[in-house]
Structure 1
Amino acid sequence: MTQHPDRTKEPAVRAFDMLHMPEPTLTKLPNGIELYALNAGDQPLNRITVSYASGLMEAAIPDALSLAAQLLREGTESYTGSQVSETLDFHGAWLKCDAGSHDTTVSLWSLNKSTVNLLPLLREILTSPAFPEKEFATLRDKHKARYLLSQKNVGYMAAQIDKKNVFGENHPMSRILNAEEIEALTTDDVHAAYKQAFSTAPRVFVTGEITELLPEIIEFFSEFEFADSSHPAQNILPMQPVAAGAVATCDVDSEHQAALAVSIPAIDRSHPDYIPLRLVVMALGGYFGSRLMANIREDKGYTYGINGNLLGYREGGVVSIMTNTAPQYVDSVISEIRRELNRLREEPMDEEELAIVRNNAMSSLAAILDTPFSIMDHHISHFHTGTPDDYFNRQLEAIKSLSSNQIMELAQKYLDPQRMIISIAHPTAESAAAGE
């Protein structure tokens, strides 16, 4: 007889089992490539991620590298863009190309039975992209259109003001091309950006059910040649934030709401306080029932959503709070943010809320272990962000040892409302009136 669960009773709650992060094996190839392999999963599929240690901040023109990454799948010496797409579709494969702050990555997902047949295409995408003029012009025009559209988005504009306030007006992280500069980009710029980013030996990350495939993948990458087998120096400049308490605003046409970005310069991922401070900021605004959400969204009704995060860049760290609200509530939202920062600094957190914060943090860590791909993403992030080798275990220990007193001490040390840097994007008077 089939037994059905009693829907009138809550399911039992139990503590998380001990979480363990599997480690990939490293093979150093003679050409300088470091190949990390993680044999995991029970499905016959895999992912190959090729990561070059050069990104937007190292590029002379960041937008050119961004376009180069998008154009990698638009044709090579032997494949047209259509043939690239048809080959991927035929094998049920997926290709993703991204340019990050200090890295450029190409990832190929495929069924194990098709991987070897796709390796010649992957080689050409990595080593001999064509950057066809027609496809370049189309992507450049789309890039320009997105830029023009973003200038009418209060959230984007507040984020851009905030970035300049946190990093510095002339910092590489604050660079952005205007419409005329985007229009002036050429395929020569794209070629130069590609050559600069892809000229040195990458790191390769292979994961999935790869027992039989791994020897062939190692042999494939051993055949690559590079002028320089070392990892390039990266353009990492410390943040240069404006004075504490600074407020910057701008007007945006065609929007009815205002966007607010609040930042407090903090510490980077290498600092011993970073992980516990991240938990404090999670309590502030990192999940649906957090302090900011409970107060400003649920109690006051000033916004549909507000979030707070500790962002760790190689250039430094920053506590970031962002939300959209009606223009008349901006000052009230800022006041409530100050209030919640002071509450964390002055009032001990009760055990019930502390348990909720711990469980949310543990759930986030457990989610990393869901799939072989998410596990490998954690290891890739280690190289992209500069986290310590034992970062996962440090997070486990920080969650277990988190206490109310520690939260107050860290909040007093890092969450001073007087250090807030505020960026606001308002709708123009005409746009606000149209929305009433």
Structure 2
Amino acid sequence: MPLDRTQAPAIEPITHFDMPHAQCHRLHNGANLYTLNAGKQEVVGLEIFFNSGTVNQPANGVSFFMAKMLAEGTKAHTSKQITEQIAQYGAFMEVQTGAERTFLSVYTLPKFLPNLLPLIAEIVTQASFPEEELENLKNISLQQHRVNLEKTAYLAGVQFKKEIFGANHPLSVALSEEVIMAQNSEQLRNYYAQTVAVQPFEVMLSGHYPDSLLKAIDQTLGQITFGVPAQKLVAAPAETAHKQRFFLPKEGSVQASVRVGRAMVSRKHPDYLGLKLLNEIFGGYFGSRLMKNIREEKGYTYGIHSSVVPTFNSGYMVIGTDVNKNVADATIEEIYKEMEILRTELVPTDELDTVRNYMLGSFANSINTPFALAERFKTVHFDGLKYDYYNQYIDAIRNTTAEQLQRLAQQYYDPAHMTEVVVGGL
């Protein structure tokens, strides 16, 4: 039967999703190896998770610089030699750090990973933090920091987190010139020795690969000897939401960066999934109410966006935009006006259905690669959730009612609990 191209295909609602589960294997040294064998492309990603981050750093900046320096030299290889060996196998390596974890990631063809595993194990156990490479990194970081200080958006983001979490919270600490220049190799080596070199880690392997890779990983990363596990620390919850306003003048700037938000709940909270749906309607996508009002109708900005950002045991909501300094107050007023509408009026059925379909379609599109599936696994793994969390997500998007959304808006969209940060010209 020929395809009738005059008729649009029927929309099939997503009601359930059977996500491939990561399998857990125990390496020789007791480390957990999580595997997701999926996809058809001959490519793999290997990630190592360390319990190292700003939550347990001895001084500001140490976690960041330790992570950036981890692959910049070992006792046996210089930074240049490491770079050349990675390039030889067409691989990509990066090290990232956050509040509670540091991630070493390598992406390559499965046939080349066994050749890189000894180097990866060497980086984990024998990083040397050479002075010359550290000085180069400090100079680069210093220049980037000075550039950032000229950006109102950067300054607003930093200040907003300080207002929400407190100035010294692991999620709000930021680099400064003094912090950058204070870094030294000895301090980085000591921190590395305490949090990476001998501490238990976890490993994630994702992509399309032969089972022989598991043995290769066990023969390298599985042979690393661990010391006594250190106490695992987690970042404290955000401070209780309360009304506050912060203005930072930026001389010569005609633009103002606006951040409005408050402390929120974690993924484990029963309100979280409903808040995700509410946020999408409010300002989470291009067709949101904030975009229609402040971008399309008022013409104050090219873009405005709101997000619900979860942390391990709390979270926060933030609305962000850049506007002309003369309309910053009017923009905040319109933000609160849209909040009030959600608090006092039910979301129309057609708008709610549109957002439901958008969110479910976006979710389906976000899990179409093995690396994306690995990210989904990391979310539930690190937050202590079960895999059915994603079916709970689908259920919440499909079934949360307009009345429930209004109740959430009444509880969480109260302007009396919002923090306002404005950075820009006078």
Q: Shared fold (TM-score greater than 0.5)?
A: yes
The residue aligned with 1:226 is: 226
Instruction: Find 1:183's aligned residue among 157, 181, 184.
Output: 181
* Partners of 1:264 and 1:112 in 2: CA distance: 45
Deviations 1:188-207 (A, max 9, x none): 12212322321311110011
The equivalences for 1:253-332 within 5 A come to: 253-332=251-330
* Partners of 1:296 and 1:10 in 2: CA distance: 36
Paired letter, 1:189: Q
Q: Does 1:98 align with 2:96?
A: yes
Structure 1 length-normalised TM: 0.92
* Partners of 2:224 and 2:131 in 1: CA distance: 27
Paired letter, 2:209: I
The residue aligned with 1:37 is: 35
Q: Does 1:217 align with 2:190?
A: no
Deviations 1:203-257 (A, max 9, x none): 10011122332232233322111102x474214222225x622111111235320
* Partners of 2:219 and 2:252 in 1: CA distance: 56
Change (3 A) 1:61 1:11: farther
SS state at 1:259 partner: strand
Kept after mapping to 2: 8 A contact 1:202/1:231: no
Paired letter, 1:110: T
* Partners of 1:118 and 1:171 in 2: CA distance: 37
Deviation at 1:354, TM superposition (A): 0.7
Kept after mapping to 2: 8 A contact 1:53/1:232: no
Deviations 1:2-21 (A, max 9, x none): x9995xx5743412454221
SS state at 2:327 partner: helix
Name structure 2 gaps, 5 residues minimum: none
The residue aligned with 1:341 is: 339
The residue aligned with 2:199 is: 200
* Partners of 1:89 and 1:147 in 2: CA distance: 29
Name structure 1 gaps, 5 residues minimum: 430-436
The residue aligned with 1:159 is: 157
SS state at 1:271 partner: coil
Of the structure 1 ranges 252-261 and 11-20, higher mean CA displacement relative to structure 2 is found in 11-20
* Partners of 2:261 and 2:23 in 1: CA distance: 39
* Partners of 2:316 and 2:75 in 1: CA distance: 44
Kept after mapping to 1: 8 A contact 2:28/2:218: no
Change (3 A) 1:290 1:13: farther
The equivalences for 1:1-12 within 5 A come to: 11-12=8-9
The equivalences for 1:71-90 within 5 A come to: 71-90=69-88
The residue aligned with 1:251 is: 249
* Partners of 2:233 and 2:7 in 1: CA distance: 52
Paired letter, 2:216: E
The residue aligned with 1:398 is: 396
Kept after mapping to 2: 8 A contact 1:151/1:252: no
Deviation at 1:168, TM superposition (A): 1.7
Paired letter, 1:305: G
* Partners of 2:10 and 2:143 in 1: CA distance: 50
Deviations 1:371-405 (A, max 9, x none): 00110111122334444543212101111212211
The residue aligned with 1:237 is: 236
Aligned residues: 422
Change (3 A) 1:105 1:384: same
The residue aligned with 1:172 is: 170
Q: Does 1:14 align with 2:16?
A: no
Deviation at 1:62, TM superposition (A): 4.1
* Partners of 2:257 and 2:7 in 1: CA distance: 40
Deviation at 1:315, TM superposition (A): 4.4
Of the structure 1 ranges 293-302 and 17-26, higher mean CA displacement relative to structure 2 is found in 17-26
SS state at 1:307 partner: strand
Kept after mapping to 2: 8 A contact 1:259/1:426: yes
The residue aligned with 2:115 is: 117
The residue aligned with 2:25 is: 27
* Partners of 1:383 and 1:19 in 2: CA distance: 18
SS state at 2:191 partner: helix
SS state at 1:32 partner: coil
The residue aligned with 2:52 is: 54
Instruction: Find 1:67's aligned residue among 65, 71, 78.
Output: 65
Tell me the percent identity: 31
Deviations 1:42-71 (A, max 9, x none): 122211100012212211124122122112
Deviations 1:324-380 (A, max 9, x none): 100110111111101110111111111211112111211232133210011011112
List structure 1 runs of 4+ shifted beyond 6 angstroms.
none
The residue aligned with 1:434 is: none
* Partners of 1:177 and 1:110 in 2: CA distance: 32
Paired letter, 2:39: G
Change (3 A) 1:322 1:224: same
The residue aligned with 1:433 is: none
Paired letter, 2:411: K
